[in-house]
Structure 1
Amino acid sequence: MKKATSIFIFIFFAGLILAFGQAPPKQLYISNDDHTDYMWTGNEAQYRDAFIRMLDYYIAQSDSTSSLPSPYQGRFNADGTFWLWEYGANKSPEEFQKLISKIKSGHISVPYNALVSCYGGTNVEAVLRGMYYAGELERKYGLELDQAVAMENQTLPLGLGSLWAGSGVKFSWKGVCDCVTKVPGLSKRDKEIYWYSGLDSSQVLMKWYSIVPGKDGNKQLGGYAEARGPALAVDQLSELCEAPNHPYRIAGAFGYGWDDLETTTNNFVKTAQEKTNPEQQVIVSNQSDFFKAFKAAYGRQLPKESLAYGNEWDLYSASLAEVSSQVKRSIEKLRAAEAMATVMLQYNPTFLDHLEEKKRKAWMALGLYYEHDWTADGPVSRDERAAWQRKIEAQLTDYVKELHSLSLKELGNHIQSKSKHIRFYAFNALGWNRTDYCDFLYNGPLNIKVIDLTSNLEVPFQLINLNGKKSIRLLATDIPSVGYKVFEVREGTPQSFSDAATARDGIIENDFFKLTMTSQGVVTDLIDKKNGNRALVSQMDGKYWNDLGSEIEANGELKVENAGPVSVTLVAKGKSPLAHTTKITLFKEISRIEIHNEINENFADTQTWTFSHNLEDADVWHEEVGAIIKAKPHTEGGHYAVKNGRFDWLTFNHFAAVQAKEFGFTISNADCSFMKLGKSELEHLDTKTPQITVLAGGQIDGKGLGILNQGGDSLFTQRFAIGTHLVYDAATSMRFALEHQNPLASGVINPNSGKFPSKTYSYLQTHNPNVLLWALKPSEDGIEEGVVARFWNLEDLPQAAAVSCSIPISSAKAITHVETAIGPAKVEQGVLKEKIGRNQIKSFQLQFNKQK
């Protein structure tokens, strides 16, 4: 009944046209939901109770209306899987099973998202892991979920649609607040319903109506409570049908609850019965039925749209900047933690069993952290909201730290070693061989040398002190893809290696770069020595590179630390405009400038890091949310809308790349979330001014929105890296950023007779440089179900991907990003051989013969 009812209605009335020449009645769908304003209208306990009472009410309403014709039966949409999470934790298994049966029958619906979120500050894995509970429900109970939403906030990322589609989402609707906003023209959108199409050609059917202007506009069509007045909604839908901007005879109005904590009503059932007449059939909707009917009738004639709309409420996560940064760091640290865990679980499948529930809560944390009410201007106090955000961040971070620590230790216990010397491994979580520095905690004798056991040669190393901890820093060459090399520490006089760079009088220089830095940490000159001694830094409005807004002549400290044959670091301690420390590091054999900034003082206003360059007429490409896009309006060959958006601050995930005619550079961004191009303003994306400004933190739209004074934080770590190139290439820039943000992991090897080779090992290899391994992890259903490998094709053309492992692959499945099976994948002679579409992220589940 769930799948077929509305389609049958449409087919029936279409038959009347053929039989009698009459137009079929309009199909008007009205859907009831409560719209969760979590930690805004109510706190955790209040919403927990409200979820349970409302679900109980609408389950009972479904029962009491079951004898009515299908269009008039009670239906309700819970706008996040967190409703089910709380219901299942607080009700009996029998009651939860009844809820599941109502979802299967179509009387209760739920989207993939945990709660309504702002997505501009998120990244790929945050979006996907936040929907993992939906995948768990699909597989455990045989559900067929098909919706996701990003409500109330006025903007929408381009790449989100691709992540949704790859997870199984088919439909979405967006209603905005049109309040606390600077986005113009929301009452005059070009498209009311369209295919939300990603750069990978994926499609999600999107309903995003123009909002009714006026005081109560968000309680009418286009708002986030379109059906607040069900009878009014029906009248507006009837008028909308066959209007110039909506030439269709099917329309839908969704949402009732508005800002209320809890709503229960039977008005939808009554309205559907009372407003149905020969000209219109009103249907109590679960939303999915509307989309299915609309797609069947009009799907082939709908326009497509692939546009980015910038950010608005998304920006308020920067009002708690350090906590938001820690979420990003934890997501990134998952790469190494999960890769090592995957390797070890093949041989010790139970060593992480005790973390299972902690893992589920970590994924739910990612579904909650970016909840849309970052305005923090509601009944729940700002202090409560900030404390909750910290708790949710810790829920993720604590799990990642423990997973990483346990996996490091487990790997060190299984690499073969019978040596009396200290041995340690350098592990590379990325899907290609790399040369990079590696830091290993060490507190032994000082007169030592370090041997690469693969070559049996000494390697350059130095003893360093980082945050009060002593370490060996070595140059680790050619570390294999998803694998390791082993090094041994021996007593004795080490071979002499020249320093990696020279540093004196604020100038630091190596074979690749020559850089000048002030005592405030501002870079006033940067020369690329390998590419024709090209200068990069310019001065604009008094700002250079890595410029916090410092007075250039202000007094500060400038010194060299940790100088040796692997790296040299120049450190500045400044006080303008805030107390801050900047460390710039150059390396031996690594063409990367690392910038480690710390703001050491609380602040209330907006703070930024500016990079003024001298590349005229340059294009800027950046990682948005699940897409690499060009930061230009679509009318100029870019990916941004020219209206109905906000363009002063753009999403800044792993990297931004600036490319002029014959030269360019990439900025890797480890901790921040947003950037500004030139002098961009709300309605204007400035692509001409050669400057990138990174948001360090602040209440972008004033003191009334977001968390006050950064929640009292006084330490903010914000890291960047710079690399240069002659020609921009998305895969190259992404590899550069991933190497910066995923340092080689190191762990001690305990003497043992384990199963892993004593010198070097690679678990997985990809054989197409344009297809990057994005995540490697155990299946959510347990390692006995296989290993999940996610890949991102960063080319604008389909690519063949061959993936081999140290253990031959016995079989594979294509899966959604939330790990629900789609169908078999091709495996030949133990190698996965699949085609990945243009700009596509694709996930697979790999099976291996059982290891002994």
Structure 2
Amino acid sequence: IWQLENWLKRTDDKEQVRELIRLMKEGRIEVGASWDDHMTGFYGMEDVNRNFYYYKEIERKYGLDIKCFVMDDIPGYTWALPQAASGSGIKYFLTGINPLGDYWGAGTSIPVKDLPFWWTGPDGSKVLTWIDFSSYGAGRWHRGAGIWCFDAPSYEEMKKKVATQASKGYGKPRTLPSESALLKGEATVRPELVVEEYNRDAILVMHGGDCYTPTHAVRAVENIDRWNEEGNLPRIIIATPSMFFEHMQKRYGDKFVSYSGDWTEGWSSMKQVTYPAGTAAMRWARDHFTVAEKLCSLNSMLFGDEYPGKGFHEAYKLLLTWLDHTETINNPKQHPKEEVERDLRLRHSLVTGFYAKVRQFLSLGFEQFCSRIETEKPSIIVFNPLSWNRTDLVKVKLDKSILAKGFSLLDTITDKQVPYQKLPGEDSILFLADGVPSVGYKRYDLVVSEKGPSSSAISVEKGENTIENRFYRLTVDESTGFVRSIVEKETGRELVKKGTYQFNQFKQLSVAGAGVSTERPSNIVIEVQNGPVQRKIVVKRGEESLVPRCEYILYPGLKRIDVINYVRRRELRQQNSYYVIACPFNLDIERLEVKTEREYYFLPCSGENHLPGALKWLFYNQHAIGLNEGGGGDGYNLIVAPKQTYVNTFVGNSREQTRQWHPAEATWIMILAWGKKAYKTRDAGMIEPDWEPGSPELLTYEYSITTARGDFDPAKGYRFGWAFNVPLLAKQIGPQKGLLKNAVFSFFRPDKPNVAIVTVKRPESGDKGSLIVRLQEFCGKETTLKLETPFRVVEAIETDTVEESTGREVNLERLI
């Protein structure tokens, strides 16, 4: 859709536009429904939904019927795609995966005899799927090295190649490893070579390529026409993807094999490690995009403010374009230095542009919302954009005049004073807000004192290396600054395993077999900062350190451990090396199950809910990773929530056996970046460009940890991860008049813990009297829920993913 939209914007000839639309309506040209070819391991919950919004816009405008989405080159995809596609009215999925080498566990070992197959999503919805295992260029000549060579320079060459290929049959093995190697996942054979013959009456061969010109297509048409005119077999039909799928359904009905599961590839990791600053910006902006939508929707409904629907609509295109599967400009020998640097600037501007727009929408929306809340005193408004009541940390900037006089902070519901902590060098305080309602706000009053500034500052102690609260005791190694011990007080359990790695240890891993080099800290200074809200160990290292500062934080009122690492971006330069943070947990690897939060579900890393032969050694996460030791109700679980990263593995998983999950120990590896610095150009040879121009020198990497007795609960994992990544918003106001007079108020609340409100927005149609409330169940349980809201609901209709009515009414109980 990205290509079509840009062509329509740049084409002045209305007759050409009419001709294209006519051919599309006749089914002679087909455009896939996806915005772009995406590295879908990157997807968040809304990305996979919004990916299909733009095809629907084109479809409505021109009266089209788009049935298929196509993604090429990427050798694997997220399990969320069939659910999102089917929910958007899409029937078919076509992909030509890149078969060059193993690509870290690319693809799936689904046998060719099962093509096409129903790819079933987490909710049971499905799309009919064809994988061209020989790539999207299987029909290309490729200078005589192609498989079918439809566009060979001479017809005789094409005829010979097609006849030879057809005589082999489809799916017969050429070179086959041992059956035991295949079963163990040790072989790197391409799936189309494994083993049983195809027995349908048609196959689909993709004829495309990088930087493809019309010359190749015309030559292919001429060769194919001559082949068919001579009466040769098999007959070759130039067709759109939907024509092929419709033929198969007409011929075989719905009698196709079903496969359900994830097969996300290893490529997605390369986006993050190449662009770590962009990844961090994208993750923040994606999470807060829906926060801004909720605020602007409330302002529109409550106060009649203009809803910036067009701005939201256009902003998401920037993110979806940045998610394109290419990491760099292709074929570097063809491009001069200037073009390479321009490409990097443009790529980075997509994610920074999206980030800037989200900050703008969020700031304006929250400012307008807070200005309508009445208060007789200076107050702090705390807004919770998530869909459950929260007790969580708040950081808020205050007027200098209030800070100079001193004040107490009052909970307007309990009428009790709330402890707070001033932040050194800032005009801000921290406090713990209690019971902030779902998609709602709570007001705290500032009672100003004339006695001077309150005593709420932190104390700093040097020479100490331990902090504790009622939940944990954390000790840092004085010689390294890494964590020596974390003890959970309730169970007395030590969470840090002694061994090869230290906890929160920064490592540089060479992929060229050069061994492992470790960050060797020097000139370490450790200080403990104690305050009424936050207790922190700050580790400062020498200027030469890649990680000059890290912080370990506990809170008296929260059962969680926060870790912050500051990494020098320009020092991540060692070519072909990966930079990671290792956290060895004291958990029994033999009894450990790991689940990672994806778009709609928690995916077990061990293989359940994966397609056959899919990648397992790497895994991706949206916000939370659940580590469950034991089971049957008597287990022990630990949740990790990364903020700026999404690529993970465990010690023991290897790139040589990518389709296996076999960690040797419970050491979580958070992958940060790849030391990619050199690039070959046509005119300047090897250059070392700034891959993310204008990015800050210090990169921030944060994660949070919590623990509990019993088995891992996906609902708790989901809430923990989202709360850490989407903190409560806060702003000082008043005194002022306003339409909202309640001290605490909720606008939307689902009554089930396994269902979240993803977003609240105005419809894409522009209907000013309606709202879209997108709900998502993420524990894999069929659920009936009640959605409570104070708005007067006249009618509630279920819609699909792209906001078209399904015709089913929904009964909502209105909360007065």
Under TM normalisation by the shorter chain, which class is it? 0.7 to 0.9
1:666 paired to 2:622: no
Alignment-mate amino acid for residue 278 of structure 2: V
Cα deviation digits, residues 528-574 of structure 1 (max 9, x gap): 113x121111133233235447667743122234x422222221123
- Correspondence for 1:764: 748
Cα deviation digits, residues 794-843 of structure 1 (max 9, x gap): 23331112212111322223223232333333124448xxxxxxxxxxxx
- Correspondence for 1:489: 446
> Hey, what's the Cα distance between the residues in 2 that align with 1:498 and 1:441?
15
Deviation at 1:631, TM superposition (A): 0.6
- Correspondence for 1:76: none
Deviation at 1:587, TM superposition (A): 1.3
Aligned mate of 1:311, from 265, 279, 282: 265
Aligned pairs for 1:207-226 (under 5 A) are 207-211=130-134
Aligned mate of 1:694, from 641, 648, 670: 670
1:820–1:275 CA distance, 2 compared to 1 (3 A): farther
Aligned Cα root-mean-square deviation (Å): 3.6
Alignment-mate amino acid for residue 314 of structure 1: S
> Hey, what's the Cα distance between the residues in 2 that align with 1:719 and 1:262?
49
Aligned pairs for 1:721-736 (under 5 A) are 721-726=704-709, 727-736=711-720
- Correspondence for 1:77: none
> Hey, what's the Cα distance between the residues in 2 that align with 1:200 and 1:811?
26
Cα deviation digits, residues 469-520 of structure 1 (max 9, x gap): 3212221100000000011111127999999999971211001111112465
Aligned pairs for 1:638-787 (under 5 A) are 638-640=608-610, 643=613, 645-661=614-630, 662-682=635-655, 683=657, 684-698=660-674, 710-711=691-692, 714-726=697-709, 727-782=711-766, 784=768, 786-787=770-771
- Correspondence for 1:593: 561
- Correspondence for 2:594: 620
- Correspondence for 2:795: 811
1:453 paired to 2:422: no
Helix, strand or coil: the match of 1:719?
Answer: strand
Alignment-mate amino acid for residue 30 of structure 2: S
- Correspondence for 1:410: 368
The percent of aligned pairs where both chains have the same amino acid is: 19
> Hey, what's the Cα distance between the residues in 2 that align with 1:223 and 1:810?
61
1:429 paired to 2:385: yes
Q: Is the 8 A contact 1:619 1:687 kept in 2?
A: no
Aligned mate of 1:533, from 451, 474, 492: 492
> Hey, what's the Cα distance between the residues in 1 that align with 2:372 and 2:536?
35
Q: Is the 8 A contact 2:139 2:208 kept in 1?
A: no
Aligned pairs for 1:226-245 (under 5 A) are 240=169, 244-245=196-197
Helix, strand or coil: the match of 1:386?
Answer: helix
Alignment-mate amino acid for residue 425 of structure 1: I
Q: What TM-score, normalized by structure 2, do the two folds share?
A: 0.82
Deviation at 1:183, TM superposition (A): 4.7
Q: Is the 8 A contact 2:393 2:728 kept in 1?
A: yes
> Hey, what's the Cα distance between the residues in 1 that align with 2:68 and 2:290?
28
> Hey, what's the Cα distance between the residues in 2 that align with 1:218 and 1:620?
45
- Correspondence for 1:823: 807
> Hey, what's the Cα distance between the residues in 2 that align with 1:260 and 1:278?
27
1:102 paired to 2:60: no
Q: Is the 8 A contact 2:34 2:70 kept in 1?
A: yes
Alignment-mate amino acid for residue 458 of structure 1: Q
Q: Is the 8 A contact 1:501 1:567 kept in 2?
A: no
Helix, strand or coil: the match of 1:91?
Answer: coil
> Hey, what's the Cα distance between the residues in 2 that align with 1:135 and 1:711?
33
Q: Which deviates the most, 764-773 or 140-149?
A: 140-149
1:366–1:180 CA distance, 2 compared to 1 (3 A): farther
Q: Which deviates the most, 687-696 or 677-686?
A: 677-686
Deviation at 1:784, TM superposition (A): 1.2
Helix, strand or coil: the match of 1:290?
Answer: helix
Q: Is the 8 A contact 1:187 1:211 kept in 2?
A: no
Deviation at 1:721, TM superposition (A): 0.6
Cα deviation digits, residues 564-605 of structure 1 (max 9, x gap): 222222211235851332122211321111112221341124
Q: Is the 8 A contact 2:278 2:352 kept in 1?
A: no
1:573 paired to 2:530: no
Alignment-mate amino acid for residue 806 of structure 1: P
1:480 paired to 2:437: yes
Alignment-mate amino acid for residue 775 of structure 1: T
> Hey, what's the Cα distance between the residues in 2 that align with 1:554 and 1:334?
41
> Hey, what's the Cα distance between the residues in 2 that align with 1:185 and 1:759?
54
1:801–1:670 CA distance, 2 compared to 1 (3 A): same
1:246 paired to 2:246: no
1:295–1:527 CA distance, 2 compared to 1 (3 A): farther
Deviation at 1:738, TM superposition (A): 0.6
> Hey, what's the Cα distance between the residues in 2 that align with 1:821 and 1:222?
50
1:374–1:154 CA distance, 2 compared to 1 (3 A): same
Aligned pairs for 1:102-141 (under 5 A) are 102-141=23-62
Q: Is the 8 A contact 2:108 2:611 kept in 1?
A: no
1:148–1:89 CA distance, 2 compared to 1 (3 A): same
- Correspondence for 2:178: none
Alignment-mate amino acid for residue 559 of structure 2: S
Alignment-mate amino acid for residue 609 of structure 2: H
Q: Which deviates the most, 380-389 or 662-671?
A: 380-389
1:201–1:435 CA distance, 2 compared to 1 (3 A): same
1:189–1:758 CA distance, 2 compared to 1 (3 A): closer
> Hey, what's the Cα distance between the residues in 1 that align with 2:597 and 2:341?
32
Q: What TM-score, normalized by structure 1, do the two folds share?
A: 0.79
Cα deviation digits, residues 102-135 of structure 1 (max 9, x gap): 3333222212222222212232222333333223
Aligned mate of 1:195, from 108, 113, 118: 118
Cα deviation digits, residues 153-210 of structure 1 (max 9, x gap): 2233333333333333321122123237535797975244211222222212111133
Helix, strand or coil: the match of 2:794?
Answer: strand
Deviation at 1:364, TM superposition (A): 1.1
Deviation at 1:285, TM superposition (A): 1.5
Q: Is the 8 A contact 1:500 1:565 kept in 2?
A: no
Deviation at 1:293, TM superposition (A): 2.0
1:620–1:377 CA distance, 2 compared to 1 (3 A): same
> Hey, what's the Cα distance between the residues in 2 that align with 1:452 and 1:127?
40
Helix, strand or coil: the match of 2:595?
Answer: strand
1:270–1:349 CA distance, 2 compared to 1 (3 A): farther
1:614–1:298 CA distance, 2 compared to 1 (3 A): farther
- Correspondence for 1:70: none
Unmatched 5+ residue regions in structure 1? 1-79, 832-847
Cα deviation digits, residues 238-284 of structure 1 (max 9, x gap): 96579743221122222334433666744565456444459665433
- Correspondence for 1:392: 350
Alignment-mate amino acid for residue 703 of structure 2: F
Deviation at 1:688, TM superposition (A): 4.1
Alignment-mate amino acid for residue 250 of structure 2: A
Alignment-mate amino acid for residue 486 of structure 1: R
Alignment-mate amino acid for residue 83 of structure 1: L
> Hey, what's the Cα distance between the residues in 2 that align with 1:734 and 1:472?
28
> Hey, what's the Cα distance between the residues in 2 that align with 1:622 and 1:571?
30
> Hey, what's the Cα distance between the residues in 2 that align with 1:829 and 1:396?
37
Alignment-mate amino acid for residue 379 of structure 2: R
Aligned mate of 2:780, from 786, 796, 803: 796
1:462 paired to 2:413: no
Helix, strand or coil: the match of 1:250?
Answer: coil
Helix, strand or coil: the match of 1:458?
Answer: coil
Aligned mate of 2:252, from 289, 294, 298: 298
Helix, strand or coil: the match of 1:735?
Answer: helix
> Hey, what's the Cα distance between the residues in 1 that align with 2:801 and 2:721?
23
Deviation at 1:391, TM superposition (A): 0.9
Alignment-mate amino acid for residue 401 of structure 1: R
> Hey, what's the Cα distance between the residues in 1 that align with 2:123 and 2:142?
35
